[in-house]
């Protein structure tokens, strides 16, 4: 009987070209679903406290191009060889040393999962309270977390299917938000494209805040690009 190799596990085996299911549109839907979140709105809101919307968008665009360059370089290991982030770490850290960055990444991901689930639960609770009069964010938190865990466990294909539904909805809601808020601003005599707050926000701090926001995903990107 052949002894099982503890360095191999089905989830981290290389993904062959004929096993890759995510297409061009699928990747776009997935990216929109990840990028349009409350935290990114909060970053933009921070910039508006000091700069005009044109300046905020410009800095965010440049920051995302910068992190995209890093992301593209790291993503290549997934595109070219179908390797996951966990296997990729063995090159610089070794077989035993790879546990340290893996655990650190896992802790950060777990915390972020909890934060995002909490924000999503608050949103679902707000909708249910408005439409149905039901107010219990904790129940929504448990339900939302369960759905996410199950969909993730079903694999990348299930995630792609969910995002293909979620992304168009996110785009529609974002467009609705823009025109609604623009109308409210006009009523108050405010031009949202020229308005800037009186706070003093350093441009470089705002730039690196937007870069660092996606740094964890930039490192972890082979887990997506290998599919």
pLDDT band at 1; cut points 50, 70, 90: very low
The answer to whether residue 40 scores a pLDDT higher than 80 is: yes
Residue range(s) defining the domain that contains residue 209: 46-225
pLDDT at 4: 67
Residue from 177, 191, 154 nearest 36 by CA: 177
Q: Is residue 27 part of a domain?
A: no
Q: Could you tell me the pTM of the whole model?
A: 0.75
The answer to whether residue 38 scores a pLDDT higher than 80 is: no
Q: Exposure of 101 by Cβ count < 10 A (0-12 exposed, 13-18 middle, 19+ buried)?
A: middle
pLDDT tens digits for 88-147?
888 888 888 888 888 888 888 888 888 889 988 998 999 999 999 899 999 999 999 998
Q: Is residue 38 part of a domain?
A: no
With DSSP H G I counted as helix, E B as strand and the rest as coil, what are the percentages for the chain, rounded to 5?
75, 0, 25
pLDDT at 172: 92
pLDDT tens digits for 214-224?
887 787 888 88
Q: Is residue 5 part of a domain?
A: no
The answer to whether residue 69 scores a pLDDT higher than 80 is: yes
Q: Is residue 36 part of a domain?
A: no
The answer to whether residue 66 scores a pLDDT higher than 60 is: yes
The average pLDDT across 21-37 equals 84
Number of domains in the chain: 1
Q: Exposure of 95 by Cβ count < 10 A (0-12 exposed, 13-18 middle, 19+ buried)?
A: exposed
pLDDT at 30: 86
What CATH code is carried by the domain that includes residue 219? 1.10.4160.10
The answer to whether residue 27 scores a pLDDT higher than 80 is: yes
Q: Is residue 165 part of a domain?
A: yes
Q: How far apart are CA 153 and CA 146, in angstroms?
A: 11
The answer to whether residue 225 scores a pLDDT higher than 90 is: no
């Amino acid at each position: 009987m052949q002894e099982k190799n503890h360095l191999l596990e089905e989830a981290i085996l290389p993904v062959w070209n004929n096993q890759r299911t995510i297409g061009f549109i699928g990747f776009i839907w997935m990216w929109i679903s990840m990028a349009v979140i409350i935290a990114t709105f909060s970053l933009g809101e921070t910039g508006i406290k000091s700069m005009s919307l044109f300046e905020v968008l410009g800095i965010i665009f440049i920051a995302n191009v910068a992190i995209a360059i890093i992301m593209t370089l790291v993503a290549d290991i997934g595109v070219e060889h179908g390797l996951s982030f966990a296997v990729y770490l063995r090159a610089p850290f070794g077989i035993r040393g790879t546990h340290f960055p893996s655990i650190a990444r896992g802790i950060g991901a777990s915390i972020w999962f909890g934060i995002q689930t909490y924000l999503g639960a608050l949103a679902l609770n707000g909708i249910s309270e408005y439409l149905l009069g039901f107010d219990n964010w904790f129940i929504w938190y448990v339900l939302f977390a369960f759905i996410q865990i199950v969909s993730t466990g079903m694999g990348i294909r299930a995630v792609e299917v969910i995002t293909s539904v979620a992304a168009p909805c996110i785009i529609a809601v974002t467009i609705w938000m823009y025109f609604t808020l623009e109308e409210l601003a006009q009523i108050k005599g405010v031009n949202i494209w020229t308005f800037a707050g009186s706070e003093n926000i350093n441009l470089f701090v705002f730039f690196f805040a937007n870069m660092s926001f996606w740094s964890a995903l930039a490192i972890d990107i082979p887990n997506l690009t290998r599919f």
